[in-house]
């Protein structure tokens, strides 16, 4: 199916689309050279916002769920990319262990695991799912609504390696973002590949580190294309030592919001954009759409109600928020039927393998869509639409639009690669 797109196709984005399409071979070569120097994250999903005048990633997930939302048409691309990834990491591998999130009873999430299992099975691996949750003490078979079943087995650690009973994997695929901290059972593994590495988990990761890397990437890519990097880069600031529940550190957030809104206003003026600037205040280690707030005026922060404070004070797994990122808000002008939509692009190794629209009927164009009530619609990606159609009028071609999304998503993936290098605790030992 091809989603019905309604996008406010104003000037600059069409120019950007045209630049990206015209620069395709140069862009692909640029990525190729970057991947000679930098290792892509094992798998990545990127939330993108298309404001019509600006196109930017707003979140980069290194433990993507939602693989079940990809259409069957996209599966061969994912399998081929998985083959390429495995070949580089552990070509002799027979066994792959997937470690899922601990709250494993959500059937959507379990369908995601079934899909990952299918992809790596088809790529030539025996795949089993091993839980590190204390609740999984014995093999547990869960039947899913579609009639499929998944078996969760307790992970065991023996002589510095982890595995399952009679199952010793070469590679361990984390599908658990470690918000609650890196469990000891995963540390100091003996000759096993843990992917993504522990420091990709939210205990270590910070959105502000990611977007600092992304800023660097967008500047370099902007130079290659001859465009203002702001067109693809959301501005941001950050504040530490914040405690929303105790009203601590909010002055920094207010100052940051004020400064950022001023910057955005100048940019809007430069490009003749008649929209109301806004920023999004997010927990710097937040995920799952938790700890997120849209702000149009710094004064709003003085009048936060108790409910909002509490919502902002804690994120997934009850982790308290101390660091906050204040990010330029990027409107979404994409619609599916009447619902606000944002594209989510999925990558395996260095390859774009699919995507979908996250839609939310009850949210505004300036709000976070990753919230209860959201739905998923496969991107027109199926049917080769992420390949550009050369010569099509800018803005008129769905394939060109999706190629552009794939480029922006890969820029965010590259930024994540820089970010993981910079935060690698073992980095010194490699020099």
| Span near a copy of itself by CB under 8 A; candidates 121-129, 132-140, 226-234, 412-420 | 121-129
What are the residues facing 57 on neighbouring strands? 48
Report, in Å, the least distance between residue 6 CB and a copy of itself. 25
Binding residues among 72-101 for a copy of itself as defined by CB under 8 A: 72-77, 79-81, 83-84, 86-87, 91-94
Contact pick of 10, 126, 133, 424 for a copy of itself (by CB under 8 A): 126
- The nearer residue to a copy of itself, 242 or 408, going by C-beta atoms, is 408
Contact pick of 9, 122, 224, 252 for a copy of itself (by CB under 8 A): 122
Report, in Å, the least distance between residue 8 CB and a copy of itself. 28
Report, in Å, the least distance between residue 393 CB and a copy of itself. 16
Report, in Å, the least distance between residue 30 CB and a copy of itself. 8
CA–CA separation, 137 and 145 (whole Å): 24
Q: Does 347 sit near a copy of itself (CB under 8 A)?
A: no
- The nearer residue to a copy of itself, 73 or 168, going by C-beta atoms, is 73
Report, in Å, the least distance between residue 419 CB and a copy of itself. 23
Binding residues among 168-197 for a copy of itself as defined by CB under 8 A: none
Question: Does residue 187 sit in helix, strand or coil?
Answer: coil
- The nearer residue to a copy of itself, 94 or 223, going by C-beta atoms, is 94
- The nearer residue to a copy of itself, 72 or 318, going by C-beta atoms, is 72
Peptide bond into 259 cis (omega under 30): no
Cβ(113)–Cβ(141) below 8 Å: no
DSSP string, 141-178: EEE-TTS-EEEEEE-EEETTEEEBTTB--SEEEEE---
CA–CA separation, 90 and 105 (whole Å): 31
> Each residue of 286-305: b (16+ CB within 10 Å) or e?
bbbbbbbbebeebeebeebe
Residues contacting a copy of itself: total by CB under 8 A: 42
Report, in Å, the least distance between residue 376 CB and a copy of itself. 19
Which backbone phi and psi does 330 adopt, to 5 degrees?
-115, 115
Binding residues among 297-326 for a copy of itself as defined by CB under 8 A: none
Report, in Å, the least distance between residue 9 CB and a copy of itself. 24
| Span near a copy of itself by CB under 8 A; candidates 53-61, 120-128, 203-211, 334-342 | 120-128
Q: Is the dihedral of CA 207, 222, 328, 11 positive or negative?
A: negative
- The nearer residue to a copy of itself, 117 or 319, going by C-beta atoms, is 117
Show the binding pattern over residues 3-42: x = contacts a copy of itself (CB under 8 A), - = does not.
---------------------xxxxxx-xxx-xx------
Question: Does residue 317 sit in helix, strand or coil?
Answer: helix
In the structure, how many helices (H) and strands (E) does the chain have? 9, 18
Edge-to-edge strand ranges of the sheet holding 279-283: 236-239, 324-328, 279-283, 292-295
Cβ(144)–Cβ(110) below 8 Å: yes
Closest of 254, 229, 228, 253 to residue 241, by C-alpha:
253
Residues that bind a copy of itself (CB under 8 A): 24-29, 31-33, 35-36, 72-77, 79-81, 83-84, 86-87, 91-94, 121-126, 350-351, 383-384, 386-388, 390
């Amino acid at each position: 199916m091809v989603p019905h797109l309604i996008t406010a196709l104003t000037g600059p984005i069409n120019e950007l689309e045209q630049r990206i399409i015209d620069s395709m071979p140069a862009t692909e070569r640029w990525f190729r050279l970057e991947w000679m120097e930098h290792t892509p994250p094992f798998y990545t999903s990127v939330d993108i916002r298309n404001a019509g005048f600006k196109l930017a990633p707003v979140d980069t997930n290194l433990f993507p769920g939602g693989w079940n939302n990809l259409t069957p048409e996209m599966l061969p691309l994912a399998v081929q990319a998985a083959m390429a990834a495995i070949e580089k990491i552990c070509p002799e591998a027979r066994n792959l262990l997937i470690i899922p999130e601990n709250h494993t009873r959500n059937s959507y999430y379990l369908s995601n695991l079934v899909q990952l299992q299918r992809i790596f099975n088809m790529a030539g691996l025996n795949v089993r799912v091993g839980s590190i949750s204390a609740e999984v003490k014995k093999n547990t078979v869960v039947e899913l609504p579609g009639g499929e079943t998944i078996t969760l087995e307790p992970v065991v650690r023996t002589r510095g390696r982890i595995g399952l009973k009679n199952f010793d994997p070469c590679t361990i695929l984390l599908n658990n973002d470690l918000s609650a901290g890196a469990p000891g059972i995963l540390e100091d593994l003996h000759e096993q590949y843990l992917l993504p590495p522990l420091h990709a988990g939210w205990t270590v990761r910070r959105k502000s580190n990611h977007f600092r890397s992304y800023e660097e990437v967008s500047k370099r890519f902007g130079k290659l294309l001859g465009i203002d990097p702001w067109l693809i880069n959301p501005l941001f600031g950050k504040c530490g030592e914040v405690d929303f529940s105790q009203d601590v550190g909010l002055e920094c957030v207010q100052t940051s919001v004020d400064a950022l809104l001023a910057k955005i206003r100048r940019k809007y003026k430069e490009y003749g954009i008649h929209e109301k600037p806004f920023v999004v205040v997010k927990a710097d280690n937040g995920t799952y759409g938790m700890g997120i707030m849209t702000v149009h005026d710094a004064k709003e922060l003085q009048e936060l109600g108790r409910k909002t404070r509490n919502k902002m004070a804690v994120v997934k797994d009850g982790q308290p928020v101390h660091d906050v990122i204040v990010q330029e808000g990027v409107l979404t002008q994409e619609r599916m039927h009447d619902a606000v939509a944002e594209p989510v692009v999925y990558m395996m190794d260095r390859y774009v393998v699919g995507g979908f629209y996250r839609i939310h009927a009850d949210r505004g164009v300036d709000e976070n869509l990753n919230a209860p009530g959201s739905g998923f619609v496969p991107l027109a990606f199926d049917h080769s639409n992420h390949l550009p159609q050369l010569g099509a009028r800018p803005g008129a071609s769905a394939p060109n639009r999706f190629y552009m999304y794939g480029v922006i998503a890969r820029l965010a993936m590259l930024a994540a690669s820089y970010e993981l290098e910079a935060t690698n605790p073992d980095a010194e030992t490699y020099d």
